[in-house]
Amino acid sequence: MRLPRFQLRTLMVAVAIVALIAWAGRMMRLSAVYQRRADTYQMYLFRIESPGVRGGWRPPPTEHDRWANHMTNKYRNAARYPWLVVTPDPPEPAHFQRFPATPYPRPSLGFPSSRSKED
């Protein structure tokens, strides 16, 4: 029995199909990465979207809230259309402190310091 002969056209179609499958896989991975980033920025907005304490009262949005909202929308759009170019992120507002400082110093764990006494 003779083996079928491969023509150039057949090989070109095979390469195109493999490239299309690889591109689709990359777009799915990029979409998942962008969705995780959007979810991360959405967590910054939890304070805004949670119901208020007194009859639905909410504090006015801050500059950081507007920035986080912009970043959430940007990455949701990127997750929906991963083949489009994503612009660089604007800097986070400088005066925002993600984790407030504690009013007391951190307790020592009792381990010896790695610095030598001569420093």
Count of CB atoms situated within 10 Å of the CB of 89? 13
Q: Evaluate whether residue 69 is within a structural domain.
A: yes
Structural domains of the chain, count: 1
Query: In this structure, is residue 73 part of a structural domain?
Result: yes
Q: Is 17 contained in some domain?
A: yes
User: Has residue 74 been placed in a domain?
Assistant: yes
Q: Residue 117 falls within a domain, yes or no? A: no
Model confidence over 12-56: pLDDT tens digits? Answer: 999 999 999 999 999 999 999 999 999 998 887 766 555 555 556
66 within a domain of the structure (yes/no)? yes
What pLDDT, on a 0 to 100 scale, did the predictor assign at position 9? 92
Rounded to 5°, the CA angle 63-64-69 comes to 100
Tell me if 109 is assigned to some domain. Answer: no
The pLDDT value recorded for residue 63 is 84
Q: Which domain holds residue 12?
A: 8-51+61-80
Residue 53: the pLDDT is 55
- Higher per-residue pLDDT: 4 or 103: 4
For the stretch 6-21, pLDDT in tens is: 899 999 999 999 999 9
Please classify residue 64 by burial: count the beta carbons closer than 10 Å to its beta carbon, then call 0-12 exposed, 13-18 middle and 19+ buried: middle
Indicate whether 3 belongs to any domain: no
The rounded mean pLDDT for the chain is 79
Helical packing angle, 63-80 and 8-44, nearest 10°: 160
